[in-house]
């Protein structure tokens, strides 16, 4: 077995561990992963949406839905690799037990992040599924939303994991969820277009990873793709590689002395 396949197998075994502990409590977990975004979808999309005029030629709910897929992917993954991973790393000492086996710290981190991305896929996928009968999807290109949702999950899973590595206690996740995740949720173009706002707002939003995920999601569901979206994709790939590397490094530093 080469090193690469051994690493992939290790990460997958950690993923399976999470799956097996999740499936017994799947219903409770689904409430957070799936039901919450659907409530947003109903309340903002249909409730508030009735009073909003068409945006970029789309009904408000069609504008909102792809953004909500990206935001759901973010929330599900970030929640998993903070509260979930922090508990496994500290209180339960599950990480410590696993790294006593042939599995390495990098594989534990990768397995947890892939698990977080799987939850993103589940939550985002359900929204996509509901968009279909509502006629909010233009063409088969929208299928690419699924791998993109998984990729967005990896990115925010890795970001959450990097924060987990430096968080002294649960209380410190308040900073992360309010100042990082909360800001992105509200100001990355999920609920309103960033075009037409003062220039500095656009630039600030451009620095937020979720902004690029929202642009790509919207392009895929509406079918209105633009060449500039390659830049958004490149931005996401670069940021994901950076935070993933950082997450592995920081967790290793915290775990192995």
Q: Which residues bind other proteins (CB under 8 A)?
A: 6, 9-10, 13, 16-17, 20-21, 92-94, 96-104, 256-257
What DSSP string runs through 97-132? HHHTTT--HHHHHHHHHHHHHHHHHHHHHHHHHHHT
Tokens (6 digits) for 157: 């899973």
**Which conformational region is residue 57 in: left (phi greater than 0), alpha (psi within -120 to 50 degrees), or beta?**
left
- Give the start-end residues of each E strand in 1-134: none
CB of 253 to other proteins, least distance (A): 11
CB of 96 to other proteins, least distance (A): 5
Instruction: Find residue 58's DSSP bridge partners.
Output: 55
Work out the number of other CB atoms within 10 angstroms of the CB of residue 135: 9
* Helix 229-255, helix 105-131: angle, nearest 10: 140
CB of 157 to other proteins, least distance (A): 18
R_g of the chain computed on alpha carbons: 19
Residue with Cβ nearer other proteins (101 or 178): 101
Residue with Cβ nearer other proteins (58 or 85): 85
Residue with Cβ nearer other proteins (105 or 155): 105
CB of 25 to other proteins, least distance (A): 9
Tokens (6 digits) for 148: 């993109």
Residue with Cβ nearer other proteins (118 or 211): 118
CB of 231 to other proteins, least distance (A): 39
């Amino acid at each position: 077995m080469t090193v690469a396949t051994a690493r992939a197998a290790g990460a997958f075994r950690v993923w399976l561990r999470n799956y097996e502990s999740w499936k017994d409590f799947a219903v409770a977990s689904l409430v957070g992963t799936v039901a919450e975004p659907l409530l947003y979808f109903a309340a903002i999309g249909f409730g508030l949406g009735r009073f909003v005029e068409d945006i970029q030629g789309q009904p408000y709910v069609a504008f909102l839905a792809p953004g909500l897929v990206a935001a759901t992917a973010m929330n599900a993954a970030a929640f998993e690799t903070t509260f979930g991973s922090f508990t496994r790393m500290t209180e339960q000492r599950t990480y410590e037990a696993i790294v006593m086996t042939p599995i390495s710290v990098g594989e534990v981190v990768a397995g947890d992040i892939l698990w977080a991305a799987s939850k993103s896929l589940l939550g985002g996928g359900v929204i996509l599924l509901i968009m279909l009968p509502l006629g909010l999807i233009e063409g088969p290109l929208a299928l690419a939303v699924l791998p993109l949702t998984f990729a967005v999950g990896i990115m925010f899973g890795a970001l959450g994991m990097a924060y987990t590595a430096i968080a002294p206690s649960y209380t410190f996740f308040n900073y992360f969820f309010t100042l990082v995740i909360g800001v992105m949720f509200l100001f990355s173009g999920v609920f309103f277009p960033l075009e037409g706002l003062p220039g500095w707002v656009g630039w600030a939003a451009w620095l937020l990873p979720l902004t690029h995920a929202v642009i790509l999601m919207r392009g895929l569901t509406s079918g209105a793709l633009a060449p500039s979206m390659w830049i958004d994709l490149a931005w996401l790939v670069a940021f994901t590689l950076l935070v993933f590397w950082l997450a592995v490094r920081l967790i290793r530093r915290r775990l192995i002395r």
